[in-house]
Amino acid sequence: MKPRVSEVIVVEGRYDRHTVCSAVEATVLETSGFHVFKDQELLSLLRRLAKQRGLILLTDSDGAGFVIRNYLKGAVSEGTVKQAYIPDRYGKESRKSRRSREGKLGVEGMPPEVILNALRQAGATFDGNAPQLPERPITKLDLYRDGLSGKPDSAARRALLARELELPARMSTNALVEAMQLLCGYEGYRAAVDRLFGEGKDE
């Protein structure tokens, strides 16, 4: 069984996210590279999560990774921000045709044990010390029943819900469910849906 990390782990891209999720159970958010510099909604979400759960920054060890890391370190002022570092290892990720500019492997090129060690060294909160998930999780079936997925106007309704909960409008359905689970739980989700649509459908 993979160890569970309490803090939200922040990485650069989706392949980094896949690698981290192969090593630990955790909420992992992506900056989409330098996109975070101009995405105020994402930055607002990271600030809220830092205050509520704490963040662990896990970027690549090249220059670009440190630019992103230093930006977030300065921009996310509330809550706990921990720094996790991967070692300098040279090579090429299997999916890429050539090495990066600096020739270093990124987070996606690290084996699970290296990711786990980096998180331990950063002071990540593991397993029994992590908060338990709410007894009633939010599921994609809830969103379907509430008309937030699988319907012609579902995208518009999700956008309204995201705005109501002060979450980024461009979040995927999976990301929205995960963020709501962390920030407001099922009861908060249910209350927001009822406020917006007046269509509570809880069993």
pLDDT at 202 over 50: no
**Assigned architecture for domain 8-129:** 3-Layer(aba) Sandwich (3.40)
pLDDT at 132: 52
Q: What's the whole-model pTM score?
A: 0.76
Domain locations in the chain? 8-129, 140-197
pLDDT at 129 over 60: no
Q: Is the dihedral of CA 181, 184, 185, 189 positive or negative?
A: negative
102-127: average pLDDT? 91
167-174: average pLDDT? 77
Distance CA 178, CA 140 (A): 10
pLDDT at 135: 67
pLDDT at 203 over 50: no
pLDDT at 46 over 90: yes
What does the H/E/C string look like for 119-164? HHHCCCCEHHHCCCCCCCCCCHHHHHHCCCCCCCCHHHHHHHHHHH
Q: In 3-state terms, the chain is what percent helix, strand and coil (to 5)?
A: 50, 10, 40
For residue range 136-145, what is the model confidence (pLDDT) as tens digits? 889 999 999 9
pLDDT at 12 over 60: yes
For residue range 186-198, what is the model confidence (pLDDT) as tens digits? 999 999 999 999 8
pLDDT at 199: 57
What pLDDT band is residue 124 in, cutting at 50, 70 and 90? very high
Q: What is the mean pLDDT of the chain?
A: 87
